Amino acid sequence: MRNDEIVFRSNKIVISKTLAKFGSKSYPINGIGSVYIDGKRSIVFLLLWIAVAIYGLLILVGSRNLVGAGLLAIGAGMFVFSLKPDFELMIKTASGDQQVFKTRNWQKK
């Protein structure tokens, strides 16, 4: 990649005319069939945080205690945080789909 013209560079991603490097892994450009972005939400975590919030609400209503208020706040806060999906940059190669980058802060331009 030293003698190759770099066409894109951002954090741990470097793309040249012949090589794509994601962190410590490199892929030859001619070996990449396609590139796509996959957004995934974890349903298990969403349900877990809803359950924690409901449990906190039940404790709060039953005994009016700070533990219930704390669990309600934690459950509600983590539920909202869990709504934002993880975005994965995927490439298709001869050996199958490869996840090469993952972030929560993807912005469509």
pLDDT in tens, 48-61: 777 777 777 777 77
pTM summary value: 0.55
Could you give the C-alpha distances from 45 to 14, 41, 83, in angstroms and in order?
33, 9, 9
pLDDT in tens, 93-108: 888 898 888 876 766 5
Task: Assign 3-class secondary structure to 67-107.
Answer: HHHHHHHHHHHHHHHHCCCEEEEEEEECCEEEEEEEECCCC
Give the list of residues 6+ apart from residue 60 with CB closer than 8 angstroms, or none: 68, 69, 71, 72
- The residue extents of the domains of the chain are 31-103
The strand pairing partners of 14, in sequence order, are 9, 21
Task: Supply the pLDDT for residue 64.
Answer: 66
- What span, in angstroms and rounded, lies between the C-alpha atoms of 80 and 46? 9
Q: Which residue has the tokens 């349900």?
A: 47
Q: What is the CA radius of gyration of the chain?
A: 21
Residue 35 has pLDDT above 60, yes or no: yes
